[in-house]
Amino acid sequence: MNGAKYIGEGIARCVTLTSLNLNLSNNKIGSDGAKYLGKGIGMCVTLTSLHLYLGTNKIGAFGATCLGEGIGMCVTLTSLHLYLGNNTIGEFGAKYLGEGIARCVTLTSLSLSLGNNSIGRDGAEYLGERIARCVTLTSLDLDLRRNSICQNGAKYLGEGIGGFATLTSLNLDLS
């Protein structure tokens, strides 16, 4: 976790950063580490491209919420790639992560990998509602494998995705 804190603090000092590619997968950063990363990312208000790989880090719902808050501060993002598989973020983590993404009003490309996070039907509904607010999206890649979203979760997710008039590319994995 301390490493993530220092990285987050370092990122926060890069206030003119436009592109960030960070891979901390399998590092046990936990929710506290995700909190520091979210704060650091939130300070980079000029980011246009963010690739964040945090798979298998036990960030939980609180960590996902903090990341969502930080991402939501980056209102100039056009490209966002989040890889958060195997982090037990649950439905509330998905909800608040989605709220942050929804604040990125210039987003054209979104790749969101949340496989094996127990988001369930409600988490899928929350994501569908929030992602639908990104009206400038042209490319959407959603990996929601092994999340028990059920038929109703897929329905709500589909309703959210169905509202995109500008979408030209869609990749959806619900296996």
pTM over 0.75: yes
**What DSSP string runs through 60-87?**
HHHHHHHHHHHHHT-TT-SEEEEE--SS
Position 159 scores a pLDDT of: 87
Strand duo 139-143 + 109-113: pairing: parallel
Domains along the chain with CATH numbers:
2-173 (3.80.10.10)
Task: Give the pLDDT band (50/70/90) at residue 160.
Answer: confident
Question: Contact at 8 Å (CB) between 161 and 125?
Answer: no
The stretches of 19-137 forming alpha helices (DSSP H) are: 30-42, 60-72, 90-102, 120-131
Comparison of pLDDT for 48 and 2, the residue scoring more: 48
Q: If you average pLDDT over each of 4-8, 116-120, 159-163, which comes out highest?
A: 116-120
Q: Does 28 score more than 80 pLDDT? A: yes
At 30, the amino acid letter reads G
Span 78-128, pLDDT tens digits: 999 999 999 999 999 999 999 999 999 999 999 999 999 999 999 999 999
Q: Does 29 score more than 70 pLDDT? A: yes
- State phi, psi for 52 to the nearest 5 degrees: -125, 115
**What DSSP string runs through 140-169?**
EEEE--SS--HHHHHHHHHHHHTT-SS--E
Run of H or E residues at 113: strand 109-113
Q: Does 53 score more than 80 pLDDT? A: yes
